[in-house]
Each structure stands twice: as C-alpha cells, then as structure tokens.
C-alpha cells in the first residue's frame, strides 16, 4: 500500500512538473499564419505543423488573423483583433511575429513611416508579460505576383530592411521566411499564400530557429 501511494505521488509530481515545464509558443500573424488557402487548413497550417515538429513539451497556438496589419493606422490593425488580446493572455514563453505582408497595400503603406515604431510597440507589449518571452521577428514570405495591393517590391525595398534594422535595435532574432521560398514559387499558388507544403517549410524554419 505504501509503495502504491509513493508511486501515485511520484506520478502526480511528474504531471505537475511536466505541465509547468510546458513551453508556450504564440504564432502571431496574418492570413499566412492563419493558413488561408491551405487544403485541410485545420491540420496543415504552419502553427499546427510546428507543434507536431516541436513535440509534446511545447504548446503552440495560432493567433493568425487574415488581412491584419502591423500598422496601427492600417485598414485592419492586428492590435484591434481578438487574436492580439488572446495572444497576450496566453502569456507565451516564445512569440513568433509575422506581420508586414498586408502593410504593403497602398492604403496601408502610406503610413509606412510608422511601421517600425508600431512593431517596436508590439515587441514591448509582449516583453512586458510575466513570462518574459523570447520574441522572434519573421521576414515575410515572397510575393510571387502583386495581388490585392500586396507587392514584393515593398517587401524587399522597405519591409525586410526595416525588420533587419529593428532586429539589431531590439535584439530580437530574425527568422527568414523569405529565402527558403527562392525557386519554390509553385508552393505559393495564389502568389501570396503558401500551400500546405509551403506551410511545412515555414514550420520547419521556425522550429530550427526555436531549437
């Protein structure tokens, strides 16, 4: 009986420790994070694939909201979406931010001078959490062909340089989601959103940075 009680106590302590050691990962982003355009989106979006690749020690949640911008003056600021509040309440240990693609739209990029300042504000908001998360900045996936006002020209000429400078200023590490798609534009069939295989590349790239 004593042996049984000790075993149960041991298992109980193991369960508590296992739970407390869980690493919470918040994937913050737009439709690419959400998984728009992916067949079987529920099982193939990149955060789901990332969770499987990282294993049971990690709890990965998708906080992607289609059409969202980093710019507070954008046509759909992530700041005003329920996913933003939910991502903060998740109290993550790791934050992966992928916002910038929708910011390239003309109606949004007219406020482009404020992009870096708004990005810094979001980094600061997550940095103030009790969990003191490690924050990653993602370079956008390539835009194969201009669509919905989204252009690769602004991604390359403005967004990527701004993010690299921001990384140096904030010490947040860069996750390059642009280079892995060079020569693989077939994985972005609608010219903006990666398909399931493309989401696998994103998940693998993010996993490699985290681990």
Dihedral pair phi/psi, residue 145, rounded to 5°: -150, 140
Dihedral pair phi/psi, residue 110, rounded to 5°: -65, -15
The tens place of each residue's pLDDT in the chain, 211 residues long, gives 544 444 444 444 433 344 458 999 999 999 999 999 999 999 999 999 999 999 999 999 999 999 999 999 999 999 999 999 999 999 999 999 999 999 999 999 999 999 999 999 999 999 999 999 999 999 999 999 999 999 999 999 999 999 999 999 999 999 999 999 999 999 999 999 999 999 999 999 999 999 9
Rounded to 10°, the helix 196-210/46-54 angle is: 40
pTM: predicted TM-score of the whole model, two decimal places: 0.89
Ordered by where they begin, the domains of the chain are: 23-210 (3.40.50.1110)
Q: What pLDDT, on the 0 to 100 scale, is given for residue 90?
A: 98
Rounded to 10°, the helix 115-127/82-89 angle is: 30
């Amino acid at each position: 009986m004593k042996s049984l009680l000790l075993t149960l106590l041991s298992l109980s302590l193991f369960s508590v420790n296992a739970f407390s050691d869980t690493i919470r990962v918040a994937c913050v982003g737009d439709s690419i994070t959400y998984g728009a355009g992916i067949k079987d989106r529920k099982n193939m979006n990149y955060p789901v694939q990332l969770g499987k690749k990282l294993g049971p020690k990690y709890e990965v949640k998708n906080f992607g909201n289609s059409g969202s911008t980093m710019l507070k003056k954008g046509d759909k600021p992530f700041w005003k979406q329920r996913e933003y509040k939910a991502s903060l309440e998740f109290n993550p240990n790791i934050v992966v931010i992928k916002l910038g693609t929708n910011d390239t739209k003309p109606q949004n990029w007219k406020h482009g001078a404020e992009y870096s300042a708004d990005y810094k504000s979001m980094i600061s908001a997550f940095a103030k959490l009790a969990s003191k998360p490690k924050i990653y900045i993602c370079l956008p996936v390539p835009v194969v062909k201009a669509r919905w006002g989204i252009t690769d020209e602004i991604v390359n000429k403005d967004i990527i340089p701004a993010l690299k400078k921001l990384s140096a200023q904030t010490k947040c590490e860069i996750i390059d989601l642009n280079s892995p798609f060079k020569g693989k534009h077939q994985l972005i069939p609608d010219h903006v959103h990666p398909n399931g295989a493309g989401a696998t590349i994103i998940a693998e790239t993010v996993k490699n940075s985290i681990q």
